[in-house]
């Protein structure tokens, strides 16, 4: 992982590629690398779909190694949805494979003069860029099937669906899983639209003939990894709850806490949430059976195995196990309590290449506008199909909740910096409200997952209904997340174990040190996180963002949320202190 692959899609005479040493980016991986490169090389005022924007695809510092849970991939660019910097990440096979091929990043640059599609293949033997317009408007599933037929069963695929080709603000980038299915998505911020603007439909990776990355100190690395795995397995969340019920284990928990956004963030509880809970979902999957049904990993090296496989009533594969955010977005937020309908919506989102959070929030806004009735699953499915078909209404919806709200005249639009809020109401979980408001990425729960401490009492306990302590909580989590998970290639869910178990956090640091021949301390990890956030805030400031953009929509401050009848109470002047460390 000692080089960058640059692919100029706008070069004279057709796309060209070159390789270069890391140079100024040495020692960086994942989000640390994507944000540093975007901040340095992309003009902040450029059009996100123009030639000056770049799409950076970067594995983490530990990706491609034997480190458990190290298979996340970061994707960076200037976001077409927010207008600011974006890092979106995903699981799947690609991060491990790209790292083993020796690349710290792929950088897509420029813009083709003609509206043509290309496929890129990367193996130990080199890079090939081929025009292939037969892929035009194919869904991700058909695209991956065509690539398997051409390149074999052992490759992995990075691709966009029709939404990316149509350059929609909600367009995602799909990463194939262990079964070669396009089920893991870098969903947030419209990264798929940027890939589409570069004229790239798919990137095929094959690491045949390449060895696993080797640590500088194998014995220390092996010992640290053993301690790391033991720590993840002994924590009740990562060792029991997530493997048994998947991420959707949170549905009943958040609903009970009164923070489950229902019918476009009108209420904090969904009366029939038990029908779509993780417990019901796991029971349904286990009853229907099938390979990898209720417990499954999204990449090799995953030991939490919080994913699964969802089969329809007739036993046919439909989609991967819909995650908590997806079940909420297309479920409770739209008043829908039908797991099969939600699974179909998830399948359509994955195939068209759409962020499930953004699409669920968008459909709820459309429902509030009267385009469909809350609870009408068939109407929701048809709306997503319109997006995939690129109808006039579909193109509006495909550009996200904020655009849809403006077009349809809806005031209550749950976005920050143009990006839709995920599955936690900031009035009932005030810490996540601070993260939504201040994150460099727009509303994003993963940027600083205060739910862990506000609701689950992981890493301490801060009252979710009160403003006290929320600034410090979100600040510390945003710093830690940027470095310990997003830069290393680690899954977000390791956070539960490292917040509660200092020895597990130390095992992670020991792994990094042993692998790279370093002597980092916890303070050094913190400084890395601050550096990442500094790069991102610098880009956003130069793109025109001010403190006024670090705010929630006004109705969260004015409308009381049942059942607690609370509003968001953290003051503006306190929000302005999040990054004053």
What's 487's DSSP letter?
I
CA atoms of 258 and 209, how far apart (whole Å): 52
**Which of 88, 38, 192 is closest to 543 using CA atoms?**
38
* CB-neighbour burial class of residue 140 (10 A; exposed 0-12, middle 13-18, buried 19+): buried
**Which of 534, 536, 514 is closest to 526 using CA atoms?**
534
Q: 407-439: per-residue pLDDT in tens?
A: 999 999 999 999 999 999 999 999 999 999 999
Domain with CATH 3.60.9.10 in the chain: 3-205
CA atoms of 84 and 18, how far apart (whole Å): 27
CA atoms of 420 and 436, how far apart (whole Å): 9
Domain with CATH 1.10.569.10 in the chain: 248-294+308-422
Residue 460 Rama label (left phi>0; alpha psi -120 to 50; beta): left
CATH fold, domain 3-205, is Aldehyde Ferredoxin Oxidoreductase;  A, domain 1 (3.60.9)
Residues of the chain with pLDDT > 70: what percent? Answer: 98
- Using a cut of 0.95, tell me whether the model's pTM lies above it: yes
Structure tokens that stand for 270 in this block: 């969904």
Q: 490-523: per-residue pLDDT in tens?
A: 888 888 899 999 999 999 999 999 999 999 999 9
CA atoms of 222 and 494, how far apart (whole Å): 18
Alpha-carbon torsion (31, 34, 38, 41), positive or negative? positive
406 three-state secondary structure = helix
Q: 93-104: per-residue pLDDT in tens?
A: 999 999 999 999
Q: 7-66: per-residue pLDDT in tens?
A: 999 999 999 999 999 999 999 999 999 999 999 999 999 999 999 999 999 999 999 999
Residue 243 pLDDT > 90: no
Q: Under a CB-based contact definition with an 8 Å cutoff, are residues 386 and 394 in contact?
A: yes
Q: Helices 356-368 and 339-352 sit at what angle, rounded to 10 degrees?
A: 120
Q: 250-272: per-residue pLDDT in tens?
A: 999 999 999 999 999 999 999 99
Q: Quick one: pLDDT at residue 437?
A: 98
- Measured CA to CA in angstroms, residue 327 lies from 88, 161, 163, 280, 531 at distances of 20, 21, 21, 12, 34
Q: Quick one: pLDDT at residue 427?
A: 98
The correct answer on CATH 1.10.569.10 for the domain covering 248-294+308-422 is yes
Q: Quick one: pLDDT at residue 240?
A: 80
Alpha carbons within 13 A on the beta-carbon side of 292: 19
CATH fold, domain 215-246+424-581, is 1.10.599
Mean predicted confidence (pLDDT) in 575-581:
97
Task: Give ∠ CA 540-543-546 in degrees, rounded to 5.
Answer: 60
Q: 136-175: per-residue pLDDT in tens?
A: 999 999 999 999 999 998 999 999 999 999 999 999 999 9
Q: 270-317: per-residue pLDDT in tens?
A: 999 999 999 999 889 888 876 666 566 666 667 777 788 899 999 999
Residues of the chain with pLDDT > 90: what percent? Answer: 88
Q: Within 10 A of 501 (CB to CB), how many other CB atoms are there?
A: 18
Q: 337-396: per-residue pLDDT in tens?
A: 999 999 999 999 999 999 999 999 999 999 999 999 999 999 999 999 999 999 999 999
Give the dihedral of Cα atoms 218, 220, 223, 227; nearest 10 deg: -130
Phi, psi of 496 (to 5 degrees): -60, -45
CA atoms of 378 and 450, how far apart (whole Å): 34
Beta strands in 266-421 (DSSP E): 309-311, 317-320, 415-416, 419-420
Residue 185 pLDDT > 80: yes
Residue 485 pLDDT > 70: yes
Q: Quick one: pLDDT at residue 291?
A: 67
Phi, psi of 24 (to 5 degrees): -65, -15
CA atoms of 30 and 51, how far apart (whole Å): 23
CA atoms of 554 and 556, how far apart (whole Å): 5
Q: Helices 470-480 and 522-542 sit at what angle, rounded to 10 degrees?
A: 100
Alpha carbons within 13 A on the beta-carbon side of 23: 10
CB neighbours of 283 closer than 8 A, spacing ≥ 6? none
Q: 448-481: per-residue pLDDT in tens?
A: 999 999 999 999 999 999 999 999 999 999 999 9
Domain with CATH 1.10.599.10 in the chain: 215-246+424-581
Give kind and range of the element (H or E) at residue 175: strand 173-175
CA atoms of 363 and 189, how far apart (whole Å): 17
267 three-state secondary structure = strand
**Which of 334, 356, 362, 358 is closest to 343 using CA atoms?**
356
Q: Under a CB-based contact definition with an 8 Å cutoff, are residues 156 and 176 in contact?
A: yes
């Amino acid at each position: 992982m000692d080089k960058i692959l640059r692919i100029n899609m706008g070069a004279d005479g057709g796309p060209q590629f070159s390789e270069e040493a890391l140079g100024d980016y040495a020692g960086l991986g994942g989000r640390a690398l994507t944000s540093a490169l975007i901040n340095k090389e992309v003009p902040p005022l450029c059009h996100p779909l123009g030639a000056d924007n770049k799409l950076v695809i970067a594995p983490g510092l530990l990706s491609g190694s034997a480190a458990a849970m190290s298979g996340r991939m970061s994707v960076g660019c200037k976001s077409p949805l927010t207008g600011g910097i974006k890092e979106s990440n995903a699981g799947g096979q690609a991060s491990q494979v790209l790292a083993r091929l020796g690349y710290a990043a792929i950088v897509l640059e420029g813009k083709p003069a003609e509206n043509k599609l290309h496929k890129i293949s990367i193996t130990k033997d080199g890079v090939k860029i081929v025009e292939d317009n037969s892929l035009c408007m194919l869904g991700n599933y058909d695209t991956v099937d065509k690539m398997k037929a051409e390149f074999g069963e052992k490759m992995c695929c990075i691709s966009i669906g029709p939404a990316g080709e149509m350059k929609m603000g909600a367009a995602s980038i799909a990463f194939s899983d262990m079964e070669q299915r396009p089920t893991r998505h870098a969903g947030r911020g419209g990264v798929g639209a940027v890939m589409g603007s570069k004229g790239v439909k798919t990137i095929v990776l094959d690491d045949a003939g390449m060895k696993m990355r080797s640590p500088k100190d194998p014995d220390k690395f092996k010992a640290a990894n053993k301690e790391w795995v033991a720590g993840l397995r002994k924590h009740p969340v990562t060792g029991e709850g997530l493997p048994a019920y998947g991420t959707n284990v949170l549905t009943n928990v958040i609903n009970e806490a009164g923070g489950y956004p229902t019918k476009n963030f009108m209420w904090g509880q969904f009366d029939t949430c038990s029908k779509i809970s993780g417990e019901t979902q796991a029971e349904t999957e286990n009853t229907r059976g099938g390979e990898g049904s209720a417990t499954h990993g999204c990449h090799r090296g995953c030991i939490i195995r919080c994913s699964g496989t969802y089969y329809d009533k007739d036993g046919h594969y439909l989609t991967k196990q819909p995650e908590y955010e997806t079940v909420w977005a297309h479920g409770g937020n739209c008043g829908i309590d039908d797991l099969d309908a939600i699974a179909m919506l998830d399948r359509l989102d994955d195939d068209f290449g759409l962020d499930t959070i953004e699409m669920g929030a968008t459909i709820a806004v459309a429902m509030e506008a009267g385009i469909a009735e809350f609870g009408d699953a068939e109407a929701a499915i048809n709306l997503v199909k319109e997006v995939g078909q690129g109808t006039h209404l579909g193109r509006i919806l495909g550009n996200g909740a904020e655009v849809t709200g403006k077009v349809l005249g809806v005031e209550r639009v749950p976005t920050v910096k143009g990006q839709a809020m995920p599955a936690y109401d900031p009035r009932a979980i005030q810490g996540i409200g601070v993260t939504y408001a201040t994150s460099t990425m727009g509303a994003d729960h993963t940027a600083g997952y205060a739910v862990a401490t506000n609701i689950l009492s992981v890493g301490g306990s801060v009252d979710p209904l009160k403003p006290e302590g929320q600034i410090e909580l979100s600040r510390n989590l945003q710093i830690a997340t940027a470095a310990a998970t997003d830069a290393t290639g680690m899954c977000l869910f390791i956070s539960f174990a490292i917040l509660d178990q200092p020895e597990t956090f130390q095992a992670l640091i020991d792994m990094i040190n042993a692998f790279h021949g370093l002597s980092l301390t916890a303070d050094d990890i913190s400084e890395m996180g601050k550096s990442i956030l500094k790069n991102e805030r610098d880009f956003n400031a130069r793109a025109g963002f001010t403190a006024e953009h670090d705010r929630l929509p006004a109705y969260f401050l004015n409308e009381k949320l049942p059942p607690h009848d609370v509003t968001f109470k953290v003051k503006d002047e306190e929000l302005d202190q999040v990054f004053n460390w």
